[in-house]
Amino acid sequence: MNAEPALQQKLLELAEVDAELNRVEHRRRSMPELAEITEAEQSVRTRKDAVVAAETSGSDLDRDIQRLERDVDGVRTRAQRDKNMLASAGVSAKQASDLQHELETLARRQGVLEDEMLEVMEQREAVQTNLDAARLELTTAEQTLADASARRDASAGDLDTTEAGRRRDREPIVAALPAELLALYEKGRSRQGIGAALLRARRCGACRLELDTQEISHIRTAPKNEVLRHEECGVIMVRTSESGL
Ligand SMILES: [Zn+2]
């Protein structure tokens, strides 16, 4: 393939723009915020689980407390009824003795229930302390995630701006190149990540391999408008005065 040396030089300009686009892409993938976000998301999930677990324990204990309150109420109502019966006229001695006996049983039962209630309320308090701490940790983790996301978005925004600029730079260069030459460039770029490179100090600018004497002598004698490709890597080698041929 042939192309004017000036057009071949344009390939180097294009390669420079594309190298910058590659760097933008690399920076996009290797933003430190991405790892921070992954870690923060994990942390938010763990803390959400802790909050849910504490909430569940809390509502279980609330139900226990309500049940104990109902039981105590039941015992009190029963005891009040027994006391009323005892106080009423016409209670036989046998009935009175039975009622007294039941009142003692009810008093013991109430004592047991109240002890249990006290214990459950202490547990409830401890769970509430855990829940408050877990919620605070969740808020902190969510804040960390939001901060990292905001920084990622800001960095991505900067990269978008840089990328848009380089894409604009690319357009007039691409427009000036013959389709066939551009296709050859893109072929190398898709395979090697570089479409064209300067031949300098006998080295291919793409793969950095040193060319042997035979290749160099071929290049020296090749017409200026011949498009040369490095056999090893397939990338277009552009000759300029810097090539040192
Ligand atoms: Zn090469």
Distance 126 CA to ligand 1 centre (A): 70
Q: What letter represents residue 51's amino acid? A: V
Distance 177 CA to ligand 1 centre (A): 22
Report the pLDDT value the prediction gives residue 243, as an integer from 0 to 100. 85
Distance 236 CA to ligand 1 centre (A): 8
Kindly report the number of other CB atoms within 10 A of residue 16's CB atom.
14
Tokens of 99: 């009622």
Distance 222 CA to ligand 1 centre (A): 18
User: Cβ-count burial of 205 within 10 angstroms (0-12 exposed, 13-18 middle, 19+ buried)?
Assistant: buried
Q: Which residue, among 15, 1, 14, 13, has the nearest Cα to 181 in the 3D structure?
A: 1
Band the pLDDT of 240: cuts 50, 70, 90: confident
Q: What is the pTM (predicted TM-score) of this model?
A: 0.73
Share of the chain above pLDDT 70, in %: 100
Distance 76 CA to ligand 1 centre (A): 95
User: Could you report the per-residue pLDDT of 139-183, keeping only the tens digit for each?
Assistant: 999 999 999 999 999 999 999 999 999 999 999 999 999 999 999
Distance 28 CA to ligand 1 centre (A): 27
239: left (phi over 0), alpha (psi -120 to 50) or beta: beta
Distance 203 CA to ligand 1 centre (A): 8
Q: What angle do CA 235, 238, 239 make, to 5 degrees?
A: 145
Distance 142 CA to ligand 1 centre (A): 49
Does residue 201 have a pLDDT over 90?
no
Asked if residue 182 lies in contact with residue 11, where contact means CB atoms within 8 angstroms, the answer is no
Does residue 241 have a pLDDT over 90?
no
Average pLDDT, the chain: 96
Share of the chain above pLDDT 90, in %: 93
User: Could you report the per-residue pLDDT of 111-139, keeping only the tens digit for each?
Assistant: 999 999 999 999 999 999 999 999 999 99
CA 214 from centroid of its chain's CA atoms: 54
